[in-house]
Amino acid sequence: MTDGPTYGFDTLQIHAGAKPDPATGARQTPIYQTTAYVFRDADHAAALFNLQEVGFIYSRLTNPTVAVLQERIATLEGGVGAVCCSSGHAAQIMALFPLMQPGMNIVASTRLYGGTVTQFTHTIKRFGWSCTFVDFDDLDAVKAAIDDNTRAVFCEAIANPGGYITDLDAISKISDAAGIPLIVDNTSATPYLCRPIEHGATLVVHSTTKYLTGNGTVTGGAIVDSGKFDWSANDKFPSLSQPEPAYHGLKFHETFGPLAFTFHGIAIGLRDLGMTMNPQAAHYTLMGTETLSLRMDRHVENAEKIATWLEKDERVDYVTYAGLKSSPYNKRMDKICPRGAGGLFTFAVKGGYDACVKLVNALEIFSHVANLGDTRSLIIHSASTTHRQLTAEQQEAAGAGAGVVRVSIGTEDADDLIADLDQALAKATS
Ligand SMILES: *Cc1c(COP(=O)(O)O)cnc(C)c1O
């Protein structure tokens, strides 16, 4: 669907990447539940292994069901290619892997998903990488944090857990000036609400576990490449610009041009790290993408109603939802995600930690789970769960202090959700 007329988002989320199965006419994308693919002959096999011809070899690298999802997500994000992988966390490692070497660092926003803060604080050190966290509203601090060994700038478009929108245009100016890529985690916003590439992102990563699948069935991740970064402009990215010893000296950027990062992600990343998405997961996520815009509109509508109701309630201290006029990020919403600030926000319950725990226990429709982006409404007390590994300062900086709960507003009837919150707040604060 890439050569035809320019279709709207609602059309692309159903059709991009997919066509009726050439073998059977099956209208829905089949689940190609196979590990391997028969080569036409020995020459065909050799050409595939040399990357001279694109095709299917082995499902650790490529699979036709996963390939449809890759093209769909790339199209929705306005990128040139995408690589799907086994989880959002895998996507982050896969995005950094071609850029990094021991001794190199990234500069990341303090306002990130708790698991990402942990991954970047502790685990990447095992690879000899490090991360400097800064407040991305302080542009001078972002500039100052970048040094000669910085290989990427990382942030979320709408940051999990609550109410923060990154000024992607301002941040991408800084990463451009430094000659390094900007990686944007677009999980909470989805390409329906925000298209980071239009605001200067080089790479977009996703936890497809969340809104893209939309129903809490499978974990998955994706890395989308804008195709706009010049990997050969300086000597910082030898994996992409220099000869690759594990491919007979092939230079990815010279050979594949704007698709260099995507080909590297498959040919080196998936081949050797093996963080592969399976075709069943791709199937569930493909089903999810078909209704993405419909769900996101409802998530936003419900979140706006519920945040407005909570803000007026005297049992609530404050609500951090960028969709509220009172939010310091409401103006930024108009620029970065004009269709709405998503379905995630936090609110502070009078009575602090204990009241939050009581509230979570008393809710009936809301489920207490460590997930977000489901059709079901979800709640979590971040400080005692997802952000538990963080210091108190890190929790505060991430917007997940002890007296705050995070909600992921689902697509149920907003009035039912409000009634549920009302009865639970009564119990929590009595
Ligand atoms: C969930 C999440 C991740 C991690 O994704 P997994 O699929 O759980 O590995 C990363 N970033 C954000 C914003 C998330 O919400």
pLDDT tens digits for range 327-345: 999 999 999 999 999 999 9
pTM of the predicted protein model: 0.96
pLDDT of 386 > 80? The answer is no
Report the percentage of the chain scoring pLDDT > 90.
86
Q: How confident is the model at residue 401 (pLDDT cuts 50, 70, 90)?
A: confident
Instruction: Classify residue 98 as exposed, middle or buried by CB count within 10 Å of its CB (0-12, 13-18, 19+).
Output: buried
- Asked whether residue 326 is assigned to any structural domain, the reply reads yes
Q: 38-87 pLDDT, tens per residue?
A: 999 999 888 888 888 888 999 999 999 999 999 999 999 999 999 999 99
- Asked whether residue 136 is assigned to any structural domain, the reply reads no
> What average pLDDT does this structure show over 151-175?
94
- Per-residue pLDDT, 1: 47
CB of 420 closer than 6 A to ligand 1? no
Same domain, 92 and 207: yes
CB of 111 closer than 6 A to ligand 1? no
Better-predicted residue by pLDDT, 215 or 3: 215
- Per-residue pLDDT, 4: 58
Q: Which amino acid, residue 173?
A: K
Nearest ligand 1 atom to the CA of 90 is 9
CB of 186 closer than 6 A to ligand 1? no
Min mean pLDDT across 170-179, 293-302, 365-374 is at 365-374
Same domain, 318 and 381: yes
- Asked whether residue 153 is assigned to any structural domain, the reply reads no
Number of structural domains the chain divides into: 2
- Per-residue pLDDT, 5: 67
Q: What is the dihedral angle through the alpha carbons of 353, 359, 360, 366, rounded to the nearest 10 degrees?
A: -150
- Asked whether residue 119 is assigned to any structural domain, the reply reads no
Same domain, 18 and 85: yes
- Per-residue pLDDT, 391: 85
CB of 410 closer than 6 A to ligand 1? no
CB of 374 closer than 6 A to ligand 1? no
Domain closes at, from 241, 262, 288: 288
Same domain, 48 and 71: yes
> What average pLDDT does this structure show over 101-112?
96
Residue-range definition of the domain harbouring residue 17:
9-99+181-288
Ligand 1: centre distance to CA 326 (Å): 28
- Asked whether residue 91 is assigned to any structural domain, the reply reads yes
CB of 109 closer than 6 A to ligand 1? no
- Asked whether residue 63 is assigned to any structural domain, the reply reads yes
Same domain, 186 and 204: yes
CB of 185 closer than 6 A to ligand 1? yes
Same domain, 197 and 310: no
Ligand 1 atom 8: residue of nearest CA = 88
Domain closes at, from 288, 318, 348: 288
> What average pLDDT does this structure show over 239-255?
93
> What average pLDDT does this structure show over 211-219?
95
Nearest ligand 1 atom to the CA of 208 is 7
- Asked whether residue 269 is assigned to any structural domain, the reply reads yes
Ligand 1: centre distance to CA 47 (Å): 36
Q: How far apart are CA 27 and CA 117, in angstroms?
A: 42
The answer to whether the CB of 197 falls within 8 A of the CB of 204 is yes
- Per-residue pLDDT, 3: 55
Ligand 1: centre distance to CA 260 (Å): 25
Q: CATH number of the domain that 229 lies in?
A: 3.40.640.10
CB of 340 closer than 6 A to ligand 1? no
Could you tell me the CA-to-CA distances from 413 to 207, 375, 376 in Å, in that order? 26, 11, 11
- Asked whether residue 117 is assigned to any structural domain, the reply reads no
Ligand 1 atom 1: residue of nearest CA = 207
Ligand 1: centre distance to CA 369 (Å): 14
Same domain, 335 and 390: yes
Nearest ligand 1 atom to the CA of 219 is 7
Nearest ligand 1 atom to the CA of 89 is 9
Q: How confident is the model at residue 393 (pLDDT cuts 50, 70, 90)?
A: confident
pLDDT of 424 > 80? The answer is yes
Nearest ligand 1 atom to the CA of 160 is 13
The answer to whether the CB of 316 falls within 8 A of the CB of 349 is yes
Phi, psi of 107, rounded to the nearest 5 degrees: -115, 120
Same domain, 189 and 258: yes
Domain closes at, from 260, 288, 316: 288
> What average pLDDT does this structure show over 312-327?
96
Same domain, 92 and 215: yes
Phi, psi of 317, rounded to the nearest 5 degrees: -75, -50
Same domain, 88 and 53: yes
How many C-beta neighbours within 10 Å does residue 324 have?
A: 21
Averaged confidence pLDDT in the chain: 95
